[in-house]
Amino acid sequence: MTNPSPTWPWLARHYGAILLAVLLVKILMAWWVPITGDEAYFLVWGRNPDLGYYDHPPMIGWWLSAILPLSDHPLAIRALGIFVSMAPALAIFAWWRHTDPVRARLVSLLALFMPLFFIAVITATDTPLILFSLLATALTWQALRSGRAAWFLLAGFALGLAFLSKYFAVLLGIALGLHILLFAPRHWRGLLLIILGVVPAVAVNLYWNWGNCWYNVMFNVVNRHGEGGFDPGNWLTYAVLLVYLFTPWLLWFYARQWRALGIGIREHRFGVFLSAGLIPLLVFALLAPFKSIGLHWLAAFAPFLLLPALFLTGRALNISAWLSGALALLHGVVILTIALMPVEWLKSQVRYADAVFYLAPESVAEAVAGYDDDWHLFTRSYSRSAVLAYYAGREVGVFGPGSHYGRQDDLLTDFRALDGANLLYLPTRGELDLDHVEPFFDEVRVKEITIRGVEWSLAEGHGFDFTAYHEQVLQPILERYYDFPAWLPEGRCAFTDRYTRKAN
């Protein structure tokens, strides 16, 4: 590492110390923030390794399957999330430090302080997507500079791994393909090699979906269809997201110094990075009036649009880094304060019961700890079942129709095997509607408990009646979520095989 010069900006001189301080803050957040619903859901995947899962490709499940035998501590679960949240910053520094060590450090800090990456310590489907998207784009850049076939093929393999992480990788593939066709058409054979490298990942995904009810297609194309309508106001929301993500000051300096940015991008042949960032964001802009765009959707593409900052003036970079650091510090203080405060400080809030469940989940787990393995635990929510499973250390299923989100339990729970069994039902927010349970048991006993000031009613269902449950719950699920469109090739589906036969 180049020794800092006394003439360098303060942030550049103390880059290493700042990096370690940010890492420490991330470790504290990872340690103290409770496991989220999404994380707990992906932990269910990790405990049931497969070639695919209900709503997303399998990469995060594979990663957690490798981690869980070693440890299920939050730090172990979130280790990949911490690393990937810092990966863009580390990559920028390592790549540019020999060209311009001061700018390398300051732009690296911008990536480190970017709000989305500063707070991103959880491990989710976006985590491996970001990692493999960075790798695929960097390999494509190297391939275009060298023209060597091996680099194109490696870029395709990396893009395939991104595809097995999350389907947003398709947008990156489109961006890279368009860049080659429009700006580097002489490398069209290289594009074919990239496509060849992606084929194994696509084949694995199609094979699993064919043998498993076309779950990913049904979720992403069929069952989610029809949410919302046309709302041009979403463009404003999307614009606010972009300003928040890239910060107003950095965007201001981009606008003021766009000529210098253009010269630097052309001189260093950064066009492929620009395409990898801009094209997906433009696609989201087109989708925004029809679909609410989540901040995490931008995570895999945003880092590429930080690279032009390497060509800003030193003053602009220094100001941007200081302001971004202050914003990051504010985020850290707020998150750690919420994590460390007792949940009771939210007692006056309308959704206090939700706060208890997600901010103090160990308290809810303690409430069911007295029930032995003869009792099968259920909630009405996929998210709550996953969280409770993690903190209670036992399987927790989903009782009732659920939603089109996160129906992994359809693959895991066979209600036929529970006929006559005893089920413990934990209602949402503690409020028990007996109509949700009484029709499906010989007897239901209600147990009242208090969890962190919330009156919670538990339903002890004795003698589960599978026939009634099939008729009133499973049959409507079959009609709602397993109505396969004619254009899908006929494949195998354990869920329909399992429950359709009962109706015949």
Has residue 229 got a pLDDT over 90?
no
Has residue 502 got a pLDDT over 50?
no
Overall number of domains in the chain: 2
Domain that holds residue 488: 354-503
Has residue 226 got a pLDDT over 70?
no
In the prediction, which pLDDT does 504 show? Answer: 40
Count CA within 13 A, CB hemisphere, residue 453: 15
Q: What angle do CA 159, 165, 171 make, to 5 degrees?
A: 55
More confident residue, 325 or 5: 325
Position 196 confidence tier, pLDDT thresholds 50, 70, 90: very high
Amino acid code (one letter) for 298: L
Angle 169-183/271-287 helices, nearest 10 degrees? 130
Identify whether residues 328 and 362 lie together within a single domain. no
What end-to-end distance do the CA atoms of the chain give, in Å?
A: 72
Contact 264, 270 (CB under 8 A): yes
Identify whether residues 371 and 300 lie together within a single domain. no
Tokens linked to 444: 């239901």
Identify whether residues 47 and 177 lie together within a single domain. yes
Q: How far apart are CA 18 and CA 14, in angstroms?
A: 6
In the prediction, which pLDDT does 72 show? Answer: 95
Closest CA to 281 of 134, 176, 171, 166: 171
> 114-134: per-residue pLDDT in tens?
999 999 999 999 999 999 999
Decide if 347 is inside a domain: no
Has residue 227 got a pLDDT over 70?
no
> 281-291: per-residue pLDDT in tens?
999 999 999 88
Amino acid code (one letter) for 58: P
Amino acid code (one letter) for 2: T
Identify whether residues 311 and 416 lie together within a single domain. no
Q: For residue 97, what are the contacts with CB-CB under 8 A and spacing of at least 6?
A: 1, 2, 104, 105
> 51-75: per-residue pLDDT in tens?
999 999 999 999 999 999 999 999 9
Identify whether residues 322 and 359 lie together within a single domain. no
Segment 96-101 shows an average pLDDT of 94
Identify whether residues 316 and 436 lie together within a single domain. no
> 297-314: per-residue pLDDT in tens?
999 999 999 999 999 999
> 348-361: per-residue pLDDT in tens?
999 999 999 999 99
Decide if 493 is inside a domain: yes
Identify whether residues 159 and 280 lie together within a single domain. yes
Position 315 confidence tier, pLDDT thresholds 50, 70, 90: very high
Segment 430-436 shows an average pLDDT of 92
In the prediction, which pLDDT does 290 show? Answer: 87
State the burial class of residue 337 (Cβ atoms within 10 Å of its Cβ: 0-12, 13-18, 19+): exposed
